[in-house]
Structure 1
């Protein structure tokens, strides 16, 4: 009887060891996890201007292409602002053109004053030379001196006028440029009343109606990006040391069961957060499941290789991944 007990004990221990060996062998050649899911980018579309939604061009779960019109914000306030800025540009340009005309007149006056000064200087010098030989009267020389003084004053006045005209023109040029910038901003804001799709994708969880208020920076529409599909699988830390980007893998999708899809490892996370935090940059993978403490797991990203054209992926759907080593 005792011999049978020992025999059963030995057989039990041997079976357990055999199972452990088999498990170790399997885990050394197969890396499998069912802690995986389908993921893409959820692009949130937020308006750049505030206003009332007057038109909604899409419905929930509708496929859209980049540039498609999604919704329209009331354009009237922005059209009025654009027209006002356009009138301001015309006024500023008219004042700037007037300043340019004043500048041209001031330059002409300076040219005339400098020519007069040159003549008066030469004439005064000539008469001063002749006065030494008593070839001209003292009265003629005094008139030449007065003419030179008057020409000098006129030239100084012309220079001051051109300085004032230049300062005024610079101010008017700046005002015209500011008006042009304000018009460009008003036209841009008017264009932003048309909310368009930034990517190809599918409208998701639409909760928007005509008459709703749009706030700058507040998301109105979510689009699941068609170009960002991938599988995120959380692997135990004991597996990831042997993984390499580009390695072949197989993916089971719960939305399309009983078939494995070929995939490749796109990347392996180099770090995870040790604690949950809403603003953490590092990903956090909870180490407990149903009160069972698990080893740390790291996100591994997979992309499907030549998926069937009719394969529809769903963001957040469960998946399983398998790697043969």
Structure 2
């Protein structure tokens, strides 16, 4: 009985080991087939989920300083060129214009309207006052902030009563005529894609639609270190085995006439094309 039990127990591990070996072989075979399939497909199809929607953020800054008298738009409102965005209190600038007008009138009245009553010094004074008047009128006109492009007001925080400083951005507008997709592809893919290549874009904000587009160009440089406000774009490297692989930005524009509601600056996208 003991001998038969030992023999039986000795056979079970052998059968179990063979089954494990067969399963390991199957798993290894499937993995190798998956890697081979991925490699082969990668030679014909390029895909990345590291893409996003981009446009231009136009920072509207006043040319003059003063207290904001009124805000004439709402957050997320669509505007066109010339739309009044906000008004800075014009009273101080109107006073400056009125003062220069009075100075100009006083000089002309004192010297008379005929050229014979004007000396060279008077002409120089008149020219200076006229120039100062033109500057005052220009500053008065710049108390009205208007939209320079068509687009959407974004993240509006300014309110009446706030103080606006010259050259400091006050209102941001997303330009709706500069939409594009920036797709970060691995170096070998980006380096081999020519401008004009047909691509297909999937927008996460407008899913289940493949939008046609074309490659506008490939960035010729990226930053190796992340730095704020750098002229070179920074693309975070991805891990491939041990070495961190770099990616290059590929700019894509959608075909003219393509309509979609999924264009939001910074929104995620996915891009594929046939190599």
**Do both share a fold (TM > 0.5)?**
yes
Distance in 2 (alpha carbons) for counterparts of 1:268 and 1:282: 13
Conserved in 2, the CA contact under 8 Å of 1:96 and 1:173? no
The yes-or-no answer on 1:172 pairing with 2:128 is no
Tell me whether 204-213 or 92-101 shows the greater mean CA deviation. 92-101
Q: Post-superposition shift, 1:228?
A: 0.8
Counterpart of 2:62 in structure 1 is 47
Q: Tell me how far apart the structure 2 counterparts of residues 212 and 8 of structure 1 sit (CA, whole Å).
A: 72
Quote the Cα distance in structure 2 between the aligned partners of 1:6 and 1:204: 61
| RMSD between superposed Cα atoms in Å | 2.5
Pair 1:223 & 2:223 matched: no
Distance across 1 between alignment mates of 2:218 and 2:99: 56
Does structure 1 residue 316 correspond to structure 2 residue 260?
A: no
List aligned pairs for 1:266-285, cutoff 5 A: 266-285=216-235
2:155 — aligned with what? 205
1:27-79, CA deviations, whole angstroms, 9 ceiling, x for partnerless residues? 11111000011111111111111111111111111111110111111111111
Residue 249 of structure 1: aligned partner: 199
Larger radius of gyration: 1
- Indicate the SS of the match to 2:199: strand
Q: Partner of 2:174: helix, strand, or coil? A: strand
Distance in 1 of aligned mates of 2:223 and 2:110: 62
C-alpha distance in structure 1 between counterparts of 2:41 and 2:111, whole Å: 83
Counterpart in the other structure of 1:153:
none
Ranked by relative contact order (alpha carbons within 8 Å, sequence separation 6 or more), the top structure is 1
- Give the 3-state SS of the residue equivalent to 2:192 in structure 1: coil
Distance in 1 between the 2:110 and 2:39 partners? 86
Give the whole-Å Cα distance in 1 for the aligned partners of 2:161 and 2:185. Answer: 48
The separation in 2 between residues aligned to 1:64 and 1:198, in whole angstroms, is 9
| Counterpart among 189, 192, 195 of residue 239 in structure 1 | 189
Q: How far apart, in 1, do the equivalents of 2:19 and 2:144 lie?
A: 85
Question: Residues 212 and 255 of structure 2 are in contact (CA less than 8 Å); yes or no, is this contact kept in structure 1?
Answer: yes
Q: Are residues 1:25 and 2:40 paired? A: yes
What TM-score comes out, normalization by structure 2 length?
0.85
How do 1:34-183 residues align onto structure 2 when only pairs under 5 Å count?
Answer: 34-93=49-108, 100-101=115-116, 168-169=119-120, 171-183=121-133
Partner deviation per Cα, 1:75-132 (whole Å, 9 max, x = no partner): 11111100111122234445676894157xxxxxxxxxxxxxxxxxxxxxxxxxxxxx
Deviations 1:242-265 (A, max 9, x none): 101111100000001111100110
Cα pair distance change 1:96/1:264, threshold 3 Å? farther
Aligned-partner SS, 1:70: strand
**Contact 2:203 2:262 survives alignment (8 Å):** no
- Shift in alpha-carbon separation, 1:293–1:89, aligned structure 2, 3 A: farther
The answer to which structure has the higher strand fraction is: 2
Find the counterpart in structure 2 of residue 119 from structure 1. Answer: none
Q: Whole-Å Cα distance in 2 between the matches of residues 39 and 96 of structure 1?
A: 62
Show the counterpart of 1:187.
137
- Indicate the structure with greater helix content: 1
